[in-house]
Amino acid sequence: MHTFLQIVEICDNFPYPDSSAEFSNVVPLTLNKTKIGILLPSTIDILREYNSRLDPAPLEISEKNVTFSAHITNFQERTEAMKQLFDTLRSEKKFAALEGWRNELYPVYGDINHPFNVAFVMERAATPILGIPTFGVHLNGYVKTPEGVIKMWIAKRASTKPTWPGKLDNTIAGGITYGFSINETIVKEAMEEANVSADISSTAVPTSAITYFTVTKFGLQPETQYIYDLEFPVDVRPKPLDDEVECFYLWDTDEVKKNLLEGNFKPNCALVVIDFFIRHSIITPDKEPDYIEILTRIHRRLEFPNPKMI
Amino acid sequence: MHTFLQIVEICDNFPYPDSSAEFSNVVPLTLNKTKIGILLPSTIDILREYNSRLDPAPLEISEKNVTFSAHITNFQERTEAMKQLFDTLRSEKKFAALEGWRNELYPVYGDINHPFNVAFVMERAATPILGIPTFGVHLNGYVKTPEGVIKMWIAKRASTKPTWPGKLDNTIAGGITYGFSINETIVKEAMEEANVSADISSTAVPTSAITYFTVTKFGLQPETQYIYDLEFPVDVRPKPLDDEVECFYLWDTDEVKKNLLEGNFKPNCALVVIDFFIRHSIITPDKEPDYIEILTRIHRRLEFPNPKMI
């Protein structure tokens, strides 16, 4: 059994500058002096070798900074440079992260001259290599009994999923792909993952967002999840539709809490549940000694540009 | 008119290390190597002069650190040393902050060998001089119409209050004095400020906390406010009882929002309302471009010890 704070620390595991010198040698990826990503020194070595093969070279690489070369000036040129870079590194098998290639374009933010503050788009699987912040949406589906007691719809991930097979998940969740709004992402994922129609999923209400910074074997992942709550009608049940979800459980909050503290949730989904527990007075400051630290950790300041008007 | 983010920035106005070098010359106040406060260089000059008059000197002061001298080892000795220090500096009129002396003892956290992690107690008005984090509780009183529309009870501070006279305030709010729990503080303040009985105020539910770092003319104020929501019965109205509050308004959220963006709220109370607006889907990520930055700013990581089990 873990504490709630330990569960948070499993996900928000990039060290804070005042607590550890580990990762103090990371280098920013910048665009017009704005930090849009963060790079491990080992990644820079690979980028430098790639860069040396091309004329003109697409990147300017120094000890303290990596950025696009001066001839790469706009959305299309940045997008094309990134496509060439990762198509090449993928074929050369330079990064384990690229073995999970998804053919899904993610926006990278930091150009206020482009709609939504998007600077370019790139393959989703490559984002941890450049420490690019990513954005998704997670939805807590729940029912309220006539007595006002909350039960939560919890998904169990399919045992065949490449990431976190068999772990518990929020009712509906997904990354926000380029071109989709938050609301469109919810409606799409609700149908694909849980067979929930748009007239139900569109009643979800935004209640929060969480931010955290995860280090994985694939790289650096500063992540933001917009959080929505959806009170399900009692006669509507989420049902697996694609092969992402094995089944859905309708659990009282004690059962959810037990599974959460046993580490049975996918780590970032656990944070979404903890945020729900705090907002719904299931985790309370008179009982939880780490209440404040949990709240600040799940709202970590990430120092990167955010989307403008998704 | 301000934006929500500008309203946040009025309160959370201590610069972040990556955004400004201002205040980069502050020095930590430590206890057993844990940072429990933060000092301006101008304060250290005054402390050094005071320290030189006493034998043994109560403080160890270096360029990089201020801490208690080795002969001061426990709660009582630290409390007594602080009392002598601020009684003296008050009589010598060294700090404007001490003109607002309140005769109210605040706990300073950071000694895990003492209940609640309290290291010592000190006069509330002196806490900004040492940059000591303080803790309070703010309560959003609201009613829900039969159609489910929220109206909020907003207090107007008396024009005779020494701080923020005439500004708008949350329904009930107060600092957590030494020896009081959060729940006891709510019940006490609810009666004193709003004439709300314990059988009503004890139905308040904890839903959040905010953390922020304010610079004022009095010094440095890293603050934490536990947030409670209280749905008032429709036949119960908060009423001014002491001379702290001029009156209470029952406003729909449009009226609250208008006053908030006009800057009519006491700054930290505005943050409590913004947190309420986010949790109740009045501020939403599809309409508010600064949604993520607001959430991270009002949950700022303060790098100080927190209470354990209030």
Task: Convert the pLDDT of each residue in B48-105 to its tens digit.
Answer: 999 999 999 999 999 999 999 999 999 999 999 999 999 999 999 999 999 999 999 9
Neighbours of B183 (CB within 10 A): 20
Task: Indicate whether A243 pLDDT > 90.
Answer: no
A290 contacts in chain B (CB < 8 Å): 306
On chain B, the residues whose CB falls within 8 A of the CB of A305 are none
Instruction: Indicate yes or no: CB of A299 within 8 angstroms of CB of B303.
Output: no
Which residues of chain B make contact with A295, given a CB cutoff of 8 A? 208-209, 211, 299
For residues A275 and A301, what is the distance between their CA atoms, to the nearest angstrom? 16
CATH 3.30.750.160 placement within chain A: 27-126
3-state SS, residue A125: helix
Task: Map tokens 């489910």 to a residue.
Answer: B148
Q: What is the pLDDT of residues B225-253, one digit of tens each?
A: 999 999 999 999 999 988 889 999 999 99
Q: What is the pLDDT of residue B89?
A: 98
What mean pLDDT value characterizes chain B?
Answer: 96
Asked if the Cβ–Cβ distance from A296 to B297 is below 8 Å, we say no
Residues of chain B with CATH 3.90.79.10: 4-14+134-297
| First-last CA distance in chain A | 38
What mean pLDDT is predicted for residues A12-29?
Answer: 92
> CB under 8 Å to B186, separation ≥6 — which residues?
B137, B139, B172, B201, B202, B204, B228
| Cβ distance of A292 and B306 shorter than 8 Å | yes
**pLDDT (average), residues A269-288:** 97
pLDDT score for A116: 86
Rg, Å, chain B Cα set: 20
**How confident is the prediction for chain A on average, in pLDDT?**
96
Topology of the domain covering A134-297: Nucleoside Triphosphate Pyrophosphohydrolase (3.90.79)
Which positions in chain B touch A271 (Cβ < 8 Å)? none
Q: B72, B185, B56, B78: which is closest to B130 by C-alpha? A: B78
The pLDDT assigned to A170 comes to: 98
Q: What burial class does residue A93 get, using C-beta atoms within 10 Å of its C-beta: 0-12 exposed, 13-18 middle, 19+ buried?
A: exposed
CB B209 within 8 A of CB A285: yes
- Helices first, then strands: H and E counts in chain B: 9, 13
- Residue B197: which pLDDT band, with cuts at 50, 70 and 90? very high
CB contact under 8 A, A296 and B301: yes
Q: Tell me the per-residue pLDDT of A126-138, one tens digit each, with 9 for 90 and over.
A: 999 999 999 999 9
Q: Name residue A73's amino acid.
A: T
pLDDT tens digits, B89-146: 999 999 999 999 999 999 999 998 888 899 999 999 999 999 999 999 999 999 999 9
B4-14+134-297: which CATH architecture? Answer: Alpha-Beta Complex (3.90)
* CA–CA gap between residue A169 and residue A266 (Å, rounded): 6
- Within chain B, which residue ranges are assigned CATH 3.30.750.160? 32-130
Cα B112 to Cα B119: distance, rounded to the nearest angstrom: 8
Which residue of A301, A302, A308 to mutate against B (max B Cβ within 10 Å)?
A301
* Chain A residues with beta carbon closer than 8 angstroms to that of B293: 306
What is the separation of C-alpha A92 from the centre of its chain, rounded to a whole number of angstroms? 27
Residues from chain B contacting residue A310 (CB–CB below 8 Å): 285-286
Residue with tokens 């091309």: A54
What gap in Å lies between CA A83 and CA A118, rounded to an integer? 16
- Give the residue from chain B lying closest to A228, CA to CA: B281
- How many CA atoms are closer than 13 Å to the CA of B218, on its beta-carbon side? 16
The CATH number of the domain covering residues in B32-130: 3.30.750.160
In chain B, where do the E strands start and end? 27-31, 34-39, 59-61, 66-68, 105-109, 118-123, 134-144, 150-157, 168-169, 172-175, 205-216, 219-231, 245-252
| Residue B310 clears pLDDT 80, i.e. is over it | no
Residues of B in contact with A280 (CB under 8 A): 207
Report residue A104's pLDDT band, with 50, 70 and 90 as the boundaries: very high
- For residues A111 and A31, the answer to whether their CB atoms sit within 8 Å is yes
Tokens, residue A285? 């400051």
Looking at the DSSP bridge assignments, the partners of residue B105 are B123
What integer pLDDT is reported at residue A309 of this predicted model?
64
Beta carbons within 10 angstroms of residue B196's beta carbon:
27
B255 C-beta neighbours (distance < 10 Å), count: 14
* Nearest CA-CA distance, residue A91 and chain B, Å: 36
Name the minimum distance, in Å, from the CA of B273 to any CA of chain A.
14
Of the candidates B7, B298, B119, the one whose C-alpha atom is nearest the C-alpha of residue A299 is B298
Mean pLDDT (whole number) for A144-156: 95
In contact, A301 and B16? CB cutoff 8 Å:
yes
Asked whether residue B309 carries a pLDDT value surpassing 80, the answer given is no
Sorted by sequence, the CB contacts under 8 Å of residue B218 that are 6+ apart come out as: B95, B96, B97, B100, B128, B129
**Residue B133's pLDDT is what?**
98
| Cα angle value A142/A146/A150 (rounded, 5°) | 30
The stretch A240-245 carries a mean pLDDT of: 89
Which residue of chain B is at minimal alpha-carbon distance from A306? B292
> Could you tell me the pLDDT band of residue A310, with boundaries at 50, 70 and 90?
low
Please, are residues A111 and A117 in contact by the beta-carbon 8 Å criterion? Answer: yes
Q: What percent of chain A clears pLDDT 70, i.e. is strictly above it?
A: 99
Q: Which of A195-199, B177-181, B197-201 has the lowest mean pLDDT?
A: B177-181
Per-residue pLDDT band at A20 (split at 50, 70, 90): confident
Residues of B in contact with A293 (CB under 8 A): 306
What is the pLDDT confidence band of residue A112, given thresholds at 50, 70 and 90?
confident
Identify the CA nearest to A136 among candidates A100, A96, A169. A169
Q: Shortest Cα distance from A13 to chain B (angstroms)?
A: 15
User: How far does the CA of residue A247 sit from the closest CA of chain B (Å)?
Assistant: 29
ipTM confidence score: 0.96
Q: With CA atoms as reference, report the closest residue to B97 among B131, B63, B121.
A: B131
Of A281, A301, A308, the CB nearest to B205: A281
Q: Do B36 and B109 contact (CB within 8 A), yes or no?
A: yes
Cβ-Cβ contacts under 8 Å between A and B: the total is 97
Pick among A134, A275, A291 to test the B interface (most B CBs inside 10 A): A291
> Domain A27-126 belongs to what architecture?
2-Layer Sandwich (3.30)
Is the pLDDT at A48 greater than 80, yes or no?
yes
